[in-house]
Amino acid sequence: MGKDTLTVTDNRTGKTYELPIADNTIRAVDLRKIKTSEEDFGLMSYDPAYMNTAECKSTITFIDGDKGILEYRGYPIEQLAEKSTYLETAYLLIYGDLPTKERLDWWANRISRHTFIHNNQVELIQAFRHDAHPMGILISALSAMSTLFPEAKEVENAEVREKQIWRILGQIPTLAAFAYRHRIGRPFNYPDNSLSYTANLLYMMDYMNQRDYAVNPVLAKALDVLFILHADHEQNCSTATMRGVGSSRVDPYSALSAAVAALYGPLHGGANEAVIYMLQHIGNVKNVPSFIERVKKGEGRLMGFGHRVYKNYDPRAKIIRKVAYEVFEATEANPLLEIAVELERIALQDDYFISRKLYPNVDFYSGLIYQALGFPIEYFSFLFAIPRAAGWLTQWVEMLNDDEQKIMRPRQIYLGHTKRDYMPIDDR
């Protein structure tokens, strides 16, 4: 085994440099030693969209995109989906280890004690138009929380941070349910803290004073599994946003609302919504081949397919596909499922998708389940954001505790005009 260094020769000057390698990485700032003259700024690396740049060191989530592996704190996602609950998984992410029975009870109690939202939030939700997109409501409601809990600004105080985490995980489902009830013009149901995390959400959304009302445990369990699968996914667009905005030391509510905004986009968490519109647009299994041909010609994307990191079947999609069939046994089958299965079958045999390593991702089947559970399409991204809050907050705390992190501030390559003098408007 040779040395853990990289030797580079700058052919502009003929000088050779030895750069240390640690964790299979060179430090971008080490490139700055490579200069053509003393005045030269030094070499930078150019990496649009962070295709090959590690922005942090992390101990939270491990992904091997080539092998299709996803682990939270070392635990395989398949085992967590089968054996854990969302609240236990959120604890695992935030505190680093699985809880004992006592700690889990304590944790569930901490969260359920923070499920009631401030009346200001109720009024805020009511101020939106009846057809306001729920993600717009969530972004606003989260940022409004920073005005209700101004002590959250003390981001260096671990105790203060922990309290905001309980509040956020407790209140997000209530915000989701209230936003939904506002949309359908029904009175709000306040949280029932005797129910599980997902059962409480379903209760707050659905309950209409029926005497014999009970949350369907199969559906609550299916939603809980989906929440586990969505809880974290290392440095994706919204998590990088959480870390980036949080690096300014703003309060967690403001950073979280920025992360939710990033998630809202159709290339990220908004894809589950886009998949349903795509399936509705295809309309019938017989239209699948012509749709695939259009995608191959570049006339649109196969939504729910492809991933920056996974170049193999997304392990979450495999679990979701199974959950979908379980849910459809308890509800009515979703007619769009047939189209989705056919799309997947054809795409996985087609050279366009094979050569680009495009496989179904987490969003391909999740929307079908949400639809079967009775959620309106616009709520799908909200259902991604609720569980991801645990991941965003864990990553935020890790960033704040990391001595190497500072305010995020990328460099640029300036290619604009060189200096020119201002010309009065009449002379232009």
Give me the least distance between CB of 82 and ligand CMC, in Å please.
21
Q: According to CB under 6 A, which residues from 208 to 267 bind ligand CMC?
A: 233, 236, 267
281 part of the active site: no
Q: Is 135 a binder of ligand CMC (CB under 6 A)?
A: no
In angstroms, what CA-CA distances link 217 with 2, 117, 172, 220, 375?
58, 25, 21, 5, 16
Give me the least distance between CB of 293 and ligand CMC, in Å please.
12
Q: Is 360 a binder of ligand CMC (CB under 6 A)?
A: no
**Choice between 233 and 321, CB closer to ligand CMC:** 233
Please select the residue that binds ligand CMC; options are 308, 331, 350, 378, rule is CB under 6 A.
308
The beta strands (E) that lie in 21-141 are given as: 61-64, 69-72, 75-76
Q: According to CB under 6 A, which residues from 260 to 279 bind ligand CMC?
A: 267-269, 271
Do the beta carbons of residue 316 and residue 362 sit within 8 Å? Answer: yes
Pairwise CA distance, residues 155 & 247, whole Å: 10
DSSP annotation of 426 reads G
CA dihedral 226, 227, 231, 233 (to 10 degrees): 20
Q: Is 295 a binder of ligand CMC (CB under 6 A)?
A: yes
Q: Residues in contact with ligand CMC, total (CB under 6 A)?
A: 20
Pairwise CA distance, residues 227 & 88, whole Å: 11
**Choice between 191 and 315, CB closer to ligand CMC:** 315
Please select the residue that binds ligand CMC; options are 173, 191, 252, 304, rule is CB under 6 A.
304
**Choice between 153 and 308, CB closer to ligand CMC:** 308
Our CA angle for 313, 315, 321, nearest 5°, is: 90
Give me the least distance between CB of 234 and ligand CMC, in Å please.
10
Do the beta carbons of residue 134 and residue 379 sit within 8 Å? Answer: yes
**Choice between 182 and 233, CB closer to ligand CMC:** 233
Q: Is 294 a binder of ligand CMC (CB under 6 A)?
A: no
Q: Is 356 a binder of ligand CMC (CB under 6 A)?
A: yes
- Tracing tokens 């997902």 back to the chain, one arrives at 198
Q: Is 302 a binder of ligand CMC (CB under 6 A)?
A: yes
Stretch that binds ligand CMC, among 201-209, 279-287, 303-311, 318-326 (CB under 6 A): 303-311
**Choice between 269 and 315, CB closer to ligand CMC:** 269
What distance separates the 2 farthest-apart alpha carbons in the chain?
Answer: 83
Please report, as a single letter, which amino acid is at residue 239: T
Pairwise CA distance, residues 315 & 237, whole Å: 19
Q: What does the block give as tokens for 269?
A: 């968490």
For the chain, report the end-to-end CA distance as a whole number of angstroms: 65
Nearest alpha-carbon partner for 227 in 400, 60, 65, 72:
72
Which one from 114, 133, 182, 307 is the annotated catalytic residue? 307
Nearest residue (beta carbon) to ligand CMC: 306
Strand partners, 351: none
**Choice between 200 and 381, CB closer to ligand CMC:** 381
Q: Is 362 a binder of ligand CMC (CB under 6 A)?
A: yes
- Tracing tokens 């729920």 back to the chain, one arrives at 134
Backbone phi and psi for residue 25, each to the nearest 5 degrees, phi listed first: -140, 145
Q: Is 305 a binder of ligand CMC (CB under 6 A)?
A: yes
**Choice between 145 and 263, CB closer to ligand CMC:** 263
Which one from 64, 118, 268, 350 is the annotated catalytic residue? 268
Give me the least distance between CB of 227 and ligand CMC, in Å please.
15
Stretch that binds ligand CMC, among 84-92, 359-367, 385-393, 396-404 (CB under 6 A): 359-367
Give me the least distance between CB of 358 and ligand CMC, in Å please.
5
Q: What does the block give as tokens for 347?
A: 């795409």
Please report, as a single letter, which amino acid is at residue 403: D
Q: Is 63 a binder of ligand CMC (CB under 6 A)?
A: no
**Choice between 252 and 306, CB closer to ligand CMC:** 306
Give me the least distance between CB of 295 and ligand CMC, in Å please.
5
Q: Is 311 a binder of ligand CMC (CB under 6 A)?
A: no
Pairwise CA distance, residues 121 & 172, whole Å: 11
In angstroms, what CA-CA distances link 385 with 172, 270, 354, 356?
9, 10, 30, 29
Strand order in the sheet with 61-64: 61-64, 69-72, 75-76
Q: Which positions are catalytic? A: 268, 307, 363
Binding site for ligand CMC (CB under 6 A): 233, 236, 267-269, 271, 295, 301-308, 356, 358, 361-363
